[in-house]
Structure 1
Amino acid sequence: MTRKRRRLVTIGVCGAVLAVALGLVLWAMRGTIVFFRSPSEVAQAAVAPGVRFRLGGLVQEGSVSRGPNETVSFTITDTAAAVPVRYRGLLPDLFREGQGVVTEGVLEPGGVFRADTVLAKHDETYMPREVADALKAQGHWQEGGRKGGQEAGKTGEAAPRTASGTGPATR
């Protein structure tokens, strides 16, 4: 066997070993890979019932209702579409209406998303790119803590002074 032929055989064997290793890794991970979907994608019937995925968006105002045995129902929206969610368990401390969340679970045949994990986001900085893009397109995005050209919590006016004029007023 010539030197060139040995080199080609070695490269071929290494390629085959790498392909088998990659195949085994993908086969082992097939149950743990979870894709992210927005409420708009779910509303367009892009997800079949029973498929596990992550659903992210904002908790719709006025949609949270608590039931018995730590059961909570709420609606996740990206302002274009909304998906009802049912979750049983304790919610994170940061969970509230109007706040960004990511849930993981399955879509039931009736169109209700049954979540087994709820992650509440601190702010839009940590929101998945797809949800952030949808919110930007509809004017609901707070880029860098700003909304409508003003910093959150600031109006650009000087803080009111106390009667002595030496410091900020307390309320």
Structure 2
Amino acid sequence: MIITCDSSVNMGYIYLQQPRNCLEFIQTREDDLISSIGTRGYQIPLLRDEFVLDKLLKLKQSSKIYTHAHRDGEFHYEYQNDLDSEGYLTGIEISLHKECFLALLQQNSFRCYSFSWNHKQMRLFTFEDENVVFNSLNILYPLHWDHDSFLIVDIDPVSKIGRIRGLLTSNEDRYPTPYLLQPLFFIK
């Protein structure tokens, strides 16, 4: 997973699917790659947590797919979320201050949980502290009618901004585990 933070505009981007020009992207951003501050060799931990499914089931599950809920005004994007032609998320553009980004790394907020749900082997990738990800007010939106990938969305009740807190998926073609577990962090 590639995660960028541009401290000049306090914005970040999470590439959930490997960019097509990944090698070229890495080469152009090589100077921004975090290699100090203890992130060298950083891996997103793959955890087997028997209680993660209980936490997920406490979230409201929407019957609408993510793009339809957005279209119907249930929430607004914080900035821009990139989707492919079938509605699968390819990347998330988020508010991300340098200090917040470094704190997320130090707290191991980027995690992967593996478990079975509805006879499918699922993986949950988190992008925030566990208390924020599993807040009972968050909503689980399917990305596609196949119900093979979902987003955990935290919707601010005042601004209606929907912030993505996690990706739940069984779709290895779109979200390959090896790519998502070997992050590259870029900070400018």
- Which structure is higher in RCO with an 8 Å CA cutoff and minimum separation 6? 2
Shared fold per TM-score greater than 0.5: no
Rg larger in structure: 1
TM-score for the superposition, normalised by structure 2 = 0.23
- Which structure's residues are more often strand, by fraction? 2
